[in-house]
């Protein structure tokens, strides 16, 4: 996790004091400054300010723009600005920076996954799928399992169930405890009426993760199929107590109302 920045003055001094070889220019006091390193430092500072949130967004914007002033085609800086403008709700500007980041570095898989997530949030599922698919094919990407899991989610939205199942299973082959893949596979198997496998995936999810409304609601339905009334009630009690205003709690209440009418 990126650390918080506690002393901007000291960091400014760090930027000024960079004296490295390579692509250099003359900085304050006649010192040579490595432009690539300075640009990278600005990007990292921008990301740290962005991650810390609140009033630090303007400092993040400053550092990303400083990075671009040293190299207007820096994909990392464009990626940082894309995340910043996305957080600001400036979606058109955010997308333009995502596109620039990928134009200047087509192999920038982290930016591609984040762009895919951006598109997914806009309900542009086919476009999101394309980004996740390309990132998932990058065998050197260290978060490839997340790209595959997100690919599966996009395919679910497109009703491509077989493709989604394959993507989730590939994600688990790379990261056996990946929560999103376990939970989505459990849900998918339940929809396919493969209840034993659905329970197995849900149990694997529950072993190492906190329950969420989706997992509790799925647990209720699975245990109902198997006739395990005690476990069904346990899931239901947890859902109502932990997430009383969730969509899943409403679904459970509707199910109970329908059962009473029968």
**Residue 76 CA from chain centroid, whole number:** 17
* pLDDT score at 33: 58
Q: How far apart are CA 160 and CA 37, in angstroms?
A: 44
* pLDDT score at 14: 34
* pLDDT score at 55: 78
Element (H, E) at 60: helix 57-70
DSSP 246: S
Nearest CA to 133 out of 119, 118, 112, 114 is that of: 112
Contact 217, 239 (CB under 8 A): yes
Three-class secondary structure of residue 159 per DSSP: coil
**Per-domain residue ranges of the chain:** 35-106
Beta bridge partners of 25: 33
**Judging by beta carbons within 10 Å of its beta carbon (0-12, 13-18, 19+), is residue 99 exposed, middle or buried?**
middle
3-class secondary structure for 187-233?
A: HHHHHCCCHHHHHHHHHHHHHHCCCCHHHHHHHHHHHHHHCCHHHHH
Contact 216, 204 (CB under 8 A): no
* pLDDT score at 119: 98
pLDDT tens digit at each of 262 positions of the chain: 343 334 433 333 333 333 233 344 445 554 445 788 989 999 999 999 999 877 789 999 999 999 999 999 999 999 999 999 999 999 999 999 999 999 999 999 999 999 999 999 999 999 999 999 999 999 999 999 999 999 999 999 999 999 999 999 999 999 999 999 999 999 999 999 999 999 999 999 999 999 999 999 999 999 999 999 999 999 999 999 999 999 999 999 999 998 887 7
* pLDDT score at 259: 84
Q: How far apart are CA 60 and CA 92, in angstroms?
A: 19
The phi and psi torsions of 32 (rounded to 5 degrees) equal -85, 135
Q: How far apart are CA 8 and CA 63, in angstroms?
A: 11
CATH of domain 35-106: 1.25.40.10
């Amino acid at each position: 996790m990126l650390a918080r920045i506690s002393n901007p003055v000291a960091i400014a001094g760090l930027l000024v004091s960079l004296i490295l070889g390579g692509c250099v220019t003359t900085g304050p006091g006649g010192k040579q400054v490595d432009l690539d390193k300075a640009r990278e430092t600005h990007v990292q500072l921008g990301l740290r300010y962005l991650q810390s949130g609140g009033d630090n967004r303007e400092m993040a914007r400053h550092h990303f723009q400083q990075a671009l002033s040293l190299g207007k085609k820096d994909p990392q800086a464009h990626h940082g600005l894309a995340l910043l403008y996305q957080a600001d709700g400036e979606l058109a500007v955010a997308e333009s920076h995502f596109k620039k980041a990928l134009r200047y570095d087509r192999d920038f898989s982290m930016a591609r996954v984040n762009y895919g997530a951006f598109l997914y949030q806009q309900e542009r599922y086919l476009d999101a799928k394309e980004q996740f698919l390309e990132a998932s094919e990058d065998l050197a990407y260290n978060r490839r399992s997340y790209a595959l899991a997100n690919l599966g989610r996009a395919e679910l939205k497109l009703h491509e169930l077989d493709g989604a199942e394959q993507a989730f299973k590939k994600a688990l082959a790379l990261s056996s405890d990946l929560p999103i893949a376990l939970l989505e596979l459990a849900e998918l198997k339940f929809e396919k009426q493969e209840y034993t496998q659905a329970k197995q995936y849900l149990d694997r999810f529950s072993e190492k993760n906190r329950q969420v409304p989706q997992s509790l609601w799925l647990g209720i339905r699975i245990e109902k199929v198997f006739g395990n009334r005690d476990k069904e009630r346990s899931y239901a009690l947890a859902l109502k107590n932990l997430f009383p205003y969730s969509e899943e709690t409403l679904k459970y209440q509707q199910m109970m109302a329908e059962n009473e009418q029968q």
